Structure 1
Amino acid sequence: MQLLFYSLFLIFNWSFSVLPTSDFSVNTENKKLEITEKPQFKLTERSTPNGCKQGGCSFNRGYVSTRSTNWVVVAVYVQTKAGYWEKKEYTRQGAGFIEMKLSDCNYTGNYYAFACFQDDGTCSFPDTYKVEEMHKQKDQTPKFKVFKVDKLTCEGSDTGAKAEKGYVYSPNGGQVEITLFMEKKDGSWRKKTYLFFGTGMIELDMQGCDLTGNYKATIRYAS
């Protein structure tokens, strides 16, 4: 087997490198899984826990994809705000959903997941120190992308635009500052600034009948 360390963080088409062992993926909510014999895991539902004042993450549900009906083990590694990683294992038979119930105000939203067959003696999971070391070797620059821009129905036949959600990737799990600019029909730009803790979806709530739908954005770690 080969261990694929994916640098595909959700919406961003970043390259991946292949290292010796099985299928290791990171932040994969929007990754389309090809159904093969080899098991793969995809996070399908996450949220922010109630009562968390500065970020936090609940990993609610994930999906195992495989043609096989054999038992599968999934190891999930989650990053804490202190920078270290915690590991939790799940098992299920064949393809289907896993209720993860993994939640803490101390989680940054960054995670890695590893899946293999329970009876595969050649498969082994890395320890949390190896995951931490690997993560630190990746690009630590925060990234942001608007996830969804829709047309806005306006008076008469006129249309505007609304930016509903965006995706934030904060490699170290810290607070970031995002500045979103949306183009107005007169050629100027509307500006809005957001603060966000960790990695995950952010509500943008920026709309107007004077907007074209074009946008640009900057992101940096908050001081």
Structure 2
Amino acid sequence: IINAVRSVNTEAIVMVDNCYGEFVEKREPTEVGADLIIGSLIKNPGGAIARTGGYIAGRKDLVELCSYRLTTVGTGKEVGCSLDENRGMYLGFFLAPQVVESAVKTSVFACAFFSLLGYETFPAYNSERTDIIAAIKLGTPDALCAFCKGIQNGSPVDSMATPEPWDMPGYDSKVIMAAGAFTMGASIELSADAPLREPYAVWLQGGITYPSGKTGILLAAQSMLENGELKL
């Protein structure tokens, strides 16, 4: 895509939203022609340790321009608050490759397991991975809700809670989310979400450790079985 854009406009600036993709492949977008990459520290690069923050990386001159936009021209990234989170950011970044490995393994296991149960997954369990996200087409709203209930039950935080669909701003259908996370919104931790509309596919991501991620997937299947939405 980058080469196609540059063949038309050599001056084009290419920025890639790299959320969910960091450390999954051997190379990052800036190594194949992107000028800038951006992402969230409560996803892959924060290693489930950082509680807030984001990053911009790439061409020095463009990063500098972005920093002027964030603060003021001349001061740029030389000023700004870190919310006493520097230790968490650096420790999380150090641990991130191993945490992402666990998330990818959890995703592959989920796709393989639900494929054996007869469900269609995207990507397939044996497809090349470019991010930590997987989608599983569950077919019915009840199956979707049962799956999310199991994911929540397998979470280390708020495992007693039961996710319910609700009218979320910006969506034209009800949405259900399961995320018993130490950091709210940290989708490097095992989580699932879906709009309640056909084909009733759930988006799954995260897993700080493979054993805990695998447990969450098995509990999701068990919840579907107990609710009569899974036939073995």
User: Is the structural similarity TM-score above 0.5?
Assistant: no
Answer 1 or 2: which has greater strand percent.
1
Structure of higher RCO (CA pairs closer than 8 Å, 6+ residues apart):
2
Q: TM-score, normalised by structure 2?
A: 0.26
What is the TM-score normalised by the length of structure 1? 0.27
